[in-house]
Chains A and B, each alone.
Chain A
Amino acid sequence: MSTSVFGTILLSVAVLAAATMAASAFSPLNQRRSLALGGASAAAMFATVLAAFFLLMRAYATTDLSLFNVFMNSHELKPFVYKLTGTWANHEGSLLLWLLILSGFGAAMAFAGRGDPATRRLALGVQGVLSLAFLLFTVLTSSPFEAYPADWPPAQEGRGLNPLLQDPGLAIHPPMLYLGYVGLSAVYSFTIAALIRGDLGKDWAQAVRPFLLFAWGALTLGIGLGAYWAYYELGWGGFWFWDPVENASLMPWLAATALLHCVMVVERRDALKPWCAALAILAFGASLMGAFLVRSGIVTSVHAFANDPERGVVLLLLAIFFTGGGLVLFAWRGQRLIQTAAFEPVSREGALVLNNLFFSVLLFTVFLGTFWPTVIEVTTGTRISVGPPYYNVMTVPLALAMAAALAFGLLIPWKRQGRGAWVRPYQIIIGFAVGGALLLTFFLGGNFWALMGFAASLLVLGGVVADLARKAGKPETALQRLAALPQRSWAAVVAHFGLAILMLGMTGATVFHSEARFVLEPGETASLRGLTFEFKGSTLTNGPNYLIQAEDVAVSRGDRVLNVVSPSRRYYPVADKGTTEVAIQRLGFGNLYIASGGGAANDATRTFRVYVHPLIHLMWGGALLIASGGFIAAFAPAARKTSTQAAPAAAEAPA
């Protein structure tokens, strides 16, 4: 049986399984049988999609040109590992990866046993409907198993692949983002189920929590990896460009971050339920938008791949259907989620409302910035840009306010247990942050941005330390008490500490960066920030499937030669495309970053762009810590249910 036929059969079986899964929830079967049927079909769908995925991967590994998809997107001469990752570096293959993760989460929902059975039954049904829609779309319009056309001349070699995609960063970062985007489907399905039943409370929160935190961790990691890829592969000396596609991945992250804090309130306090439901729908809607805006052709971006306006627009319509449908259901059933608990403004839940307010405003700002150029172009015909200067002005003050709210939230206990004990430590944190930021900015010669960045970072750091100190209590018993802290408390500590580190690194790498452009002949030197660069000369060599034009540059500090680095440019003949390979030399927590701008062919003169990014490794490390916090919390045991036990340390500990 040919690969094409076998793959199509596997996907068809998956369609049947998805249909059964969707139908099981609404069938007249009793609850136990319906759940069993839903679970079995979820498992069957996962198994068949997994088999189809491996089948496609095998076709890529062996460059099986009988598949049209392999013919279009791969080539014999590609390195083996990029043949494998090429499986998902195209429209059809990435959809199959999407389906694999979607069905994986469906199976996890069925077997993790979270949520009360009636809600889980409906949630499985909603996940089945989602899976069915995307499976049908794939099979009908975008099947990776389409055969090579019989009436075409026999295929000799594949059509290659975008060289930008032949890179470890791009091999890992889309699957990680997908894990985040699709993970939110489980949150969506549980929310729709809860809305249908009109009961969204602690059970819902506990069912949704692990999926949400896992998806959030993966999304954080995916965005971080994307930024890292842009940093070293584009050779522009930056890591975040406020590009529409970057924004499209940031929006679901902002919504999910707001949601995971909101879920905490629902879990402990039976409040904010309608808001939480709306956020859950928006977070998954933003994920769908983020995933499919990339290929719609509506926005142009460096990250846009597999641009395919027609099918992309259908995907966008599916995204609008599921988001819009969810919101209509919310409008219809939302008022049933009446708030029952009393709400104290000066409390942990009050701080979390503030957190949600700030995150939503940030989300709205990014949304405006991303789509405003489209609005203006459609209404007035003028093309405008919304670039980094806009986002810096809008988001940095907000980030500072959020940091202040975070420190407050970490100090104040739930409900009315605060009793003013938080005031003194909060004053100390504010003083520490403002004083520290002023000193750092003054001694390092920074500007107003530096002041805000340092203050935000120190506020969060102060909050984390004060929170730990409060939880530790008296020095004699501190270690015991810290060891007894639940896993999810540590997860919050890790994530918030990561945020402080990330903001510090970001401030260093952006406000205190240096850059220069040098035009050098071989033997000439230039210097920047106490470093001297000597251009030694150029070499031309062959890579596996590209040519390398490298420029050797000796970097020295004083009389000591630190290293000889070789920023280079690659040319891929099959794709007739080039890439820039920057040279990065680590200097402590920072980087020296040299990109070759090339030069005229008949001339030995070369242009170099040289950047120094202090503390940038703190930023990468911070992002890793934030994501780890998400994963640690995702696999933490569920919290005890009674809200009186919510903040025992706070009640006993002297502030």
Chain B
Amino acid sequence: MIAAFALFVAAALAPADQARAEAIAAELRCVVCQNQSILDSDAEIAAVMRTLVEERIAAGDTDAEVRAYIIDRYGEYVLLSPSKSAKNMMLWAGPALALGFGAIWAFSLFRSSAKPKA
């Protein structure tokens, strides 16, 4: 715990980089917690992961590179916002499709009833 904090404090970043690190940390899941990001968690592993994020940023990685680095070590499970890959297409496109089909249904409702009123 103390070691983790020492690391955490050691990686002092410029304010803009610190903000980037926090924005990334807010979208990474703490793997031992129920449903917390590593930014919000007090767990040791969250502190370690925050440190990893800060180290990668200090090393000059882009946001995407930092995320890839963390996923390599902890798996896709840590992404609170799932990847927009082919297997998640339904997840991302589903609501828009539902809205489209629903709108067609609603439209048909008005059209079909337009006749009997005459």
Contacts and interface: CB of A to CB of B under 8 A. Distances in A.
B64 interface: no
Contact of A598 (B42, B110, B113): B42
B91 A383 contact: no
Contact of A386 (B87, B91, B95): B91
B76 interface: yes
A361 interface: yes
For the residues of B in contact with A, the DSSP-based class is: helix
B81 A390 contact: yes
A31 interface: no
Contacts of A393: 81
Interface string A338-364: 010111110000100110010011001
B12 to A, nearest CB: 14
A477 interface: no
Nearest to B116: A342
A343 B5 contact: no
Contacts of A372: 82, 88, 90-91
Contacts of B27: 387, 389
Interface string A491-528: 00000000000000000000000010001000000000
Nearest to B107: A345
B9 interface: yes
B40 A236 contact: yes
Nearest to A607: B42
B2 A364 contact: no
B110 A361 contact: no
Contacts of B29: 385, 387
Interface stretch (A194-202, A237-245, A318-326, A543-551): A237-245
Contacts of A385: 29, 77-80, 82
B117 A342 contact: yes
B14 interface: no
B81 A361 contact: no
Contacts of B109: 272, 339, 343, 353
A357 B96 CA distance: 12
A515 B19 CA distance: 12
Interface size class on chain B is: 35 or more
Nearest to A341: B113
A345 B110 contact: yes
A382 interface: yes
A519 B5 contact: yes
Nearest to B9: A519
A389 B40 contact: no
Interface residues of A, number: 50
Interface in B68-98: 75-83, 87-88, 90-91, 94-95, 98
A607 B2 CA distance: 11
Contacts of A357: 99, 102-103, 105-106
A387 B37 CA distance: 9
Contact of B113 (A343, A360, A380, A387): A343
B1 A360 contact: no
A387 B106 CA distance: 31
Interface string A97-109: 0000000000000
B95 A350 contact: no
A582 to B, nearest CB: 12
Contact of A368 (B35, B41, B87, B95): B95
A600 B2 contact: yes
Given A385-B29, A387-B29, A360 B98 contact: yes
Given A342-B113, A365-B94, A390-B81, A597 B87 contact: no
Interface in A378-433: 380, 382-390, 393-394, 398
Nearest to A395: B95
Interface of A: 236-238, 241-243, 271-272, 300-302, 339, 341-345, 350, 353-354, 357, 360-361, 364-365, 368-369, 372, 376, 380, 382-390, 393-394, 398, 515, 519, 597-598, 600, 603, 607, 609
Given A339-B112, A386-B80, 10 more contacts: A236-B40, A242-B35, A301-B34, A345-B110, A357-B105, A360-B98, A361-B98, A384-B88, A388-B80, A393-B81
13 contacts: A236-B36, A238-B40, A241-B35, A241-B36, A345-B110, A357-B102, A361-B102, A368-B90, A369-B91, A386-B82, A387-B81, A389-B81, A390-B80
The 7 A-B pairs of least Cβ separation, nearest first, read: A387-B80, A342-B117, A389-B81, A343-B113, A597-B42, A383-B77, A365-B95
